Amino acid sequence: MALFGNVFKDIGIDLGTANSLIYIKGRGIVVNEPSVAAINTKTNHVLAVGDEAKKMLGRVPPHISVIRPLVNGVISDFEMTEEMLRHLLNRPKAHPVMSYRRALLAIPNNLTEVERKSVEDAALNAGCAKVYLVESPIAAALGAGLPITVPEASLIIDIGGGTTDIAVISMGGVVVSRTLKIAGDRFNEEIIHFVREEFHLAIGEPTAEYAKIAVGSAVPLDERIEVPIRGRDFETGLPREIAMKNNHVRMALSKSLRAIVDAVHEVIEETPPELAGDVLRQGIVMCGGGALLRGLDELIEKETGVTVTVADDPLTCVARGLGQMVDDFDAHRELLDNPLKPLSINL
């Protein structure tokens, strides 16, 4: 039986818009790379996946396409998603005949049947024998250590790359939720737009992301911090450098941050009274890459009057939650989104 345990592995897959993480039973998180693939359109050959592909963004000739196959948590390019997932699944294989018996995939709330089927098919075609779906907020809350199986409210805010999931969870299920297509990618787009309008400078997504991480904030900071940003001047067409300050990024993100705060308000307003009381007592937990934006927890806490904390290692909360489910599948079966009818193929 030990031989079969080494050859047939159960895995958890957090197939995110910005990053993809893979958890293998008994080994932990073995893959954590950007959800990016580069392909040579002349030969139809995949050149790179993950970190290597992300380095090529905005730096390739016309015959090389750098693709992010997931948009707002939904597969926009099925073939590239399948290729990317196949490459990522092959990396941690310790044995040439090792196969993935059972895969748990995290998905955003409110996906249509077509969108759910595309995620399942991508994992099946990439080499998984059975696919089970788990709602991302459930996995994130589990990974954050929240008591989601008891009759008490846990409010989780998962700000990823393509979507922000806000959910009140009780007894292992989502009671009230909102999914916004406003998250890390939208933040980058708004920084690009702000720099274009304010400084007449063209910058790319990697530069915008760098500015967001380096000086971005949701509330005014005690100290003024700035970072040099380089791009192409719209008027002269020549390279130019500007100083991007933290208040610039805050202004750029203000509209998106307001939309997230309003959505949190709506979720709390729709929460049953008893559970709303639990939220006030237990507080709100944030996870995902967006949770690392300076002062975002302070902003939400000020606007809602509820204590807000950022989960430990917020970037891996969903993957760690999936890992708990993979390690003890039977104990967490009731948390699955489709426990009765998993898609399967014969081994």
In degrees, to the nearest 5, what angle opens at C-alpha 340 toward C-alphas 335 and 346?
Answer: 115
Higher confidence at residue 103 or residue 91? 103
| pLDDT value of position 340 | 43
Q: What is the pLDDT of residues 281-325, one digit of tens each?
A: 999 999 999 999 999 999 999 999 999 999 999 999 999 999 999
Cα–Cα distances (Å) from 223 to 219, 226, 245, 250, in that order, read: 12, 10, 11, 14
Joined together, the tokens standing for residue 257 give 């941050």
In the chain, pLDDT over 90 holds for what percent of residues? 66
Give the CA-trace dihedral at 17, 49, 54, 143, to 10 degrees.
40
Answer yes or no: is pLDDT of 188 > 80.
yes
217: β partners: 294
| Gap between the Cα atoms of 342 and 34, Å rounded | 27
* 193: helix, strand or coil: helix
- Average per-residue pLDDT in the chain? 89
Cα–chain center distance at 210: 18
| pLDDT value of position 113 | 86
Helix H or strand E segment including 310:
strand 308-310
| pLDDT value of position 337 | 74
Q: Which of 145, 126, 151, 119 is nearest to 16 (CA)?
A: 119
Domains observed in the chain? 2-33+79-139+316-336 (3.30.420.40), 145-182+262-314 (3.30.420.40), 184-252 (3.90.640.10)
134: β partners: 106
* 96: helix, strand or coil: coil
Higher confidence at residue 51 or residue 99? 51
What is the sign of the dihedral through the CA atoms of 116, 147, 141 and 91? negative
| pLDDT value of position 338 | 57
Joined together, the tokens standing for residue 15 give 């197939």
In which order are the strands placed within the sheet that holds 154-159?
173-180, 164-170, 154-159, 284-287, 308-310
In the chain, pLDDT over 70 holds for what percent of residues? 93
Cα–Cα distances (Å) from 35 to 7, 27, 103, 214, in that order, read: 26, 21, 18, 22
